[in-house]
């Protein structure tokens, strides 16, 4: 006998009495059995946010639940997502020349730590081709260069490649190019970036050098959704480590890599487990 199907439902809408009873009542009618539920009302905006994990009986399917729930969601005026937890998310990785985040994510993918499939890896440089192909994955070299108009053309081509690959999630693994706003907008809350500082400190270039110069005692990394504005999207996760006085900027880069790997891997995991609901400028992460 195969294990039961577990569905993940995330949802947000204006708060009012009876929302939770309405939703859980619907799932109960479908003979769904909850395994993990988190609900939170943002008292400042009076907003209802929730995540539900539940097992469905063999008589139900993702599609039947989706179809029936759509009626309720419309009634509630809710934004929502429903997924089968076991179905791998199609995830495209983008990388430049540094491979630490890439290698880390590939290991987690190969070891089934992350429920993702990787149709391809894209880079603006050719350096990491062999380490990607060694994993049996297609590698696409797509340079981003030239003047503004030419770069724009490059990003159009990139958008085509992403679209053809059926990307559901895009992970920028220290990809050193800034996605244009229109491209972020095509994948709302589905482009994950890693920045090598504790944002909002040291947004932009060379954060470890600036952290060294400022003499901070803690450095870190921030996993966030990419938006039009550089390093300003909703923060998913942050990792931190102590900087010692004898650490040079290069030491900070080395220590920071461990933060970057962990912050990105954990952030991607939260996304893949549908633990995140973005509310305004904030990412609500249930069970992080």
Compare residues 156 and 254 and give the one whose CB is closer to its own copies: 254
Measure the CA–CA gap between 177 and 96, rounded to whole angstroms: 8
Cα–Cα distances (Å) from 172 to 49, 58, 99, 210, 225, in that order, read: 27, 38, 11, 22, 10
Q: Does 107 bind its own copies (CB under 8 A)?
A: yes
User: Which segments of the chain does DSSP mark as H helices, in order?
Assistant: 19-29, 62-76, 100-110, 129-133, 148-164, 181-186, 207-214, 249-272
Q: Does 16 bind its own copies (CB under 8 A)?
A: yes
Measure the CA–CA gap between 221 and 195, rounded to whole angstroms: 6
Q: Is 231 a catalytic residue?
A: yes
Query: Which of residues 78, 202, 227, 252 is near its own copies by CB under 8 A?
Result: 202
3-state secondary structure of 232: coil
Compare residues 162 and 208 and give the one whose CB is closer to its own copies: 208
Per CB under 8 A, contacts with its own copies among 132-151 are: 134
Query: Which of residues 81, 206, 228, 288 is near its own copies by CB under 8 A?
Result: 288
Helix/strand/coil (H, E, C) string of 233-274? Answer: CCEEEEEEEECCCCCCHHHHHHHHHHHHHHHHHHHHHHHHCC
Measure the CA–CA gap between 109 and 91, rounded to whole angstroms: 10
Q: Does 237 bind its own copies (CB under 8 A)?
A: yes
Q: Does 130 bind its own copies (CB under 8 A)?
A: no
For the CB of residue 153, give the shortest distance to its own copies in the complex, in Å. Answer: 34
Query: Which of residues 1, 2, 149, 246 is near its own copies by CB under 8 A?
Result: 246
For the CB of residue 143, give the shortest distance to its own copies in the complex, in Å. Answer: 24
Cβ burial of 236 (10 Å; 0-12, 13-18, 19+) is buried
Query: Which of residues 73, 168, 238, 256 is near its own copies by CB under 8 A?
Result: 238
Q: Which two tokens stand for residue 24?
A: 């859980």
Residues lying near its own copies in the complex (CB under 8 A): 15-22, 24-25, 27-28, 31-41, 43-44, 50, 99-100, 103, 107, 111, 113, 134, 198-202, 212-218, 220, 234-238, 240, 244-246, 248, 254, 258, 262, 265, 281-288
Catalytic residue IDs: 231
């Amino acid at each position: 006998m195969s294990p039961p199907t577990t569905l993940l439902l995330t949802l947000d809408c204006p708060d009012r009495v009876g929302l939770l009873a309405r939703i859980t009542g619907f799932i109960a009618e479908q003979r769904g059995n909850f395994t993990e539920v988190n609900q939170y009302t943002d008292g400042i905006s009076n907003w209802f946010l929730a995540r539900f994990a539940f097992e469905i009986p063999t008589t139900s399917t993702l599609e039947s639940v989706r179809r029936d729930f759509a009626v309720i969601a419309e009634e509630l005026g809710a934004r929502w997502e429903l997924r089968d937890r076991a179905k791998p998310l199609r995830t495209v990785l983008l990388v430049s020349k540094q491979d630490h985040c890439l290698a880390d994510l590939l290991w987690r993918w190969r070891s089934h730590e992350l429920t993702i499939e990787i149709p391809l890896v894209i880079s603006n440089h050719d350096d990491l081709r062999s380490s990607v192909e060694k994993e049996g994955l297609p590698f696409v070299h797509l340079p981003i260069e030239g003047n503004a108009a030419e770069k724009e053309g490059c990003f159009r081509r990139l958008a085509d490649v992403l679209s053809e690959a059926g990307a559901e999630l895009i992970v920028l693994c220290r990809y050193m190019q800034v996605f244009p706003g229109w491209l972020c907008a095509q994948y709302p809350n589905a482009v994950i970036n890693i920045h090598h500082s504790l944002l909002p400190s040291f947004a932009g270039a060379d954060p470890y050098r600036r952290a060294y110069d400022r003499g901070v005692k803690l450095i870190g990394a921030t996993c966030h959704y990419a938006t039009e504005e550089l390093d300003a999207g909703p923060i998913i996760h942050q990792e931190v480590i102590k900087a010692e006085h004898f650490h040079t900027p290069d030491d900070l880069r080395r220590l920071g890599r461990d933060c970057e790997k962990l912050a990105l891997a954990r952030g991607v995991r939260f996304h893949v487990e549908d633990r995140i609901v973005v509310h305004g400028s904030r990412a609500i992460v249930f069970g992080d």
